[in-house]
Amino acid sequence: MSDKISASGAPKPVGLYPHARKVGNLLFLSGVGPRVAGSDANDSAVPGLELDLNGNFKAFDFEAQCRSVFDNVRAVLEASGSSWDNLVDVTVFLVNMKRDFHTYNKVYAEYFKDNQPCRTTVEINSLPTPIAIELKCIATIN
């Protein structure tokens, strides 16, 4: 038996899936990106990103996206009855490892200074919206 969770403090999913599911004392988060809380897939509300009419970057701040995605993960965790300190596994998807890894690693160290979950970082070709980072997480629930 599992419970589906929708977090109002996080961006709306870009498809038919919950923000998270509880199974026993584990919490599995769906992929979480940096879009502004409450925004949907058609919304271009991505911190640090401004696109022109053709979808090309006018402004790009990867650090702003990192901070936003971590804040969105925290919102899903808290809406699910868990917390940042309960994260046990984080998979990070970057669309440009060479350009973004150093910044991501620096911001990650700030957010995960005390709690250090297992971590995997992979580069992928693209994500479903014009974002540069997405996290997939597992946490415990007390």
Neighbours of 40 (CB within 10 A): 12
What pLDDT does 97 receive?
Answer: 98
Is residue 86 a contact partner of residue 140, using CB atoms and an 8 Å limit? Answer: yes
Q: Which residues, including other chains, have CB under 8 Å from residue 84's CB and lie 6 or more apart?
A: 73, 74, 77, 111, 115
Question: In whole angstroms, what is the distance from residue 45 CA to residue 96 CA?
Answer: 20
- Return the residue matching tokens 């004392």: 25
Closest of 43, 44, 20, 39 to residue 135, by C-alpha: 20
pLDDT at residue 2 is higher than 70 = no
pTM over the 0.85 mark: yes
pLDDT tens, position by position, 87-110: 999 999 999 999 999 999 999 999
Name the CA radius of gyration of the chain, rounded: 15
What are the structural domains, with CATH classification, of the chain? 2-140 (3.30.1330.40)
What pLDDT does 21 receive?
Answer: 96
Question: In whole angstroms, what is the distance from residue 83 CA to residue 141 CA?
Answer: 8
